[in-house]
């Protein structure tokens, strides 16, 4: 059977809201219409997706599996739509996404020089959307920092760089030449622990019992503001820490923390010759780059 993308979008809305009324409002359709569409979708798939009663709505095992697969599929469909529209209207475009601390000027100029009629743009991303920009078609390629959800993506490793801990300027560890992870066990990590799995997996961290919710930080600037206010620490790639310098925070190398891997990512179904060409440009640039304090190239 062919999967109906409209019904798939309806399913994702209900799965994320776990409430048919809120999902219907989000989709701007009537709730009875949404309920009928979901029942029809379950019939087509021959699987129950939700367990629902008057009080609650919950995903079944089949529903959990469909939600995991639906998001990249919908993102791929949206990316395809964007690429077709760009091809149909005027001057071709090519967008390069990059994480803080990564400079892509040389690569952007190289692809623009090879294609004078190409409109080349750049967009800065964050930990939260560095992969989504290519899945959704908002960028053709994205410089990403691992780990990321790699579903629906192709990756080309480019270089690695050390990671450092960023602390308030007067912190007890601020004057040290380097620290070990064990010395940070009592510190409060402000960012998503999945971004620093080595710290996340340290045993017996006292901060696990901290009742304070972790703040939602969407930019490096926000992270540094919280660090400076003695709210906790962050782990950053060296290039990011050195790019965002400020007098009230310091960064210290962490000896037993592995280097951060930087890759170029693009949608695995994007067959554009421009993407293949840019991948080779990025790989050559990474290989030829000098070994500087901001990045350690492979």
CA distance 204 to 190: 18
Packed helices 20-27 and 31-45: angle between N→C axes, nearest 10 degrees: 100
Mean per-residue pLDDT of the chain = 87
- Kindly state the tokens that stand for 75: 């993102």
Q: Which of 197, 206, 242 is nearest to 224 (CA)?
A: 242
CA distance 263 to 97: 12
What pLDDT shows up at residue 238?
A: 94
CATH architecture under which domain 5-72 falls:
Orthogonal Bundle (1.10)
Domain positions in the chain are 5-72, 91-159+260-297, 163-253
Q: What does the pLDDT look like over 268-291, one tens digit per residue?
A: 888 889 999 999 999 999 988 754
Q: What does the pLDDT look like over 150-204, one tens digit per residue?
A: 988 999 999 999 999 999 999 999 989 999 998 998 889 998 888 888 888 887 6
CATH code, 163-253: 3.40.190.10
CATH architecture under which domain 91-159+260-297 falls:
3-Layer(aba) Sandwich (3.40)
Residue count of the chain, please give it: 298
CA distance 229 to 241: 17
**Confidence band (pLDDT; 50, 70, 90) for 35?**
very high
The residue-averaged pLDDT of 129-155 equals 91
The answer on pLDDT for 32 being more than 60 is yes
Same topology between domain 5-72 and domain 163-253: no
CA distance 131 to 264: 10
CA distance 127 to 144: 8
CA distance 142 to 100: 12
What phi and psi, each to the nearest 5 degrees, are found at residue 203? -80, 155
Q: Which of 26, 23, 29 is nearest to 50 (CA)?
A: 23
Angstrom distances, CA of residue 19 to CA of 10, 15, 69: 12, 8, 20
The residue-averaged pLDDT of 30-52 equals 91
CA distance 97 to 99: 7
Rg, Å, the chain Cα set: 23
The answer on pLDDT for 16 being more than 50 is yes
């Amino acid at each position: 059977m062919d999967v109906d993308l409209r019904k798939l979008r309806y399913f994702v809305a209900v799965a994320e809201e776990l409430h048919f009324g809120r999902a219907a409002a989000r989709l701007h359709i009537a709730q009875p219409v949404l309920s009928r569409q979901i029942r029809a979708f379950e019939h087509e798939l021959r699987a129950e997706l939700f367990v629902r009663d008057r009080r609650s709505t919950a995903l079944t095992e089949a529903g959990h599996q469909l939600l995991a697969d639906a998001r990249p599929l919908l993102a791929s469909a949206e990316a395809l739509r964007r690429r077709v529209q760009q091809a149909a209207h005027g001057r071709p475009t090519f967008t390069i996404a990059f994480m803080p601390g990564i400079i892509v000027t040389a690569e952007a100029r190289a692809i623009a020089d090879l294609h004078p009629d190409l409109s080349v743009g750049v967009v800065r991303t964050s930990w939260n959307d560095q992969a989504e920009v290519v899945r959704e078609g908002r960028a053709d390629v994205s410089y990403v920092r691992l780990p990321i959800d790699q579903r629906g993506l192709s990756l080309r490793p480019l270089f690695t760089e050390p990671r450092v801990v960023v602390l308030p300027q007067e912190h007890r560890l601020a004057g040290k030449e380097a620290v070990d992870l064990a010395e940070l066990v009592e510190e409060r990590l402000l960012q998503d622990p999945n971004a620093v799995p080595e710290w996340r997996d340290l045993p017996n961290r006292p901060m696990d019992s901290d009742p304070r919710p972790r703040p939602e930080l969407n930019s490096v600037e926000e992270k540094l503001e919280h660090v400076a206010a003695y709210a906790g620490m962050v782990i950053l790639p060296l290039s990011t820490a050195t790019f965002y310098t400020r007098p009230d925070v310091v960064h210290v190398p962490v000896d037993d923390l592995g280097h951060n891997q930087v890759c170029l990512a693009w949608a695995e179904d994007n067959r554009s010759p421009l993407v293949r060409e840019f991948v080779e440009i990025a790989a050559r640039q990474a290989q030829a780059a000098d070994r500087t304090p901001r990045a350690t190239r492979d």
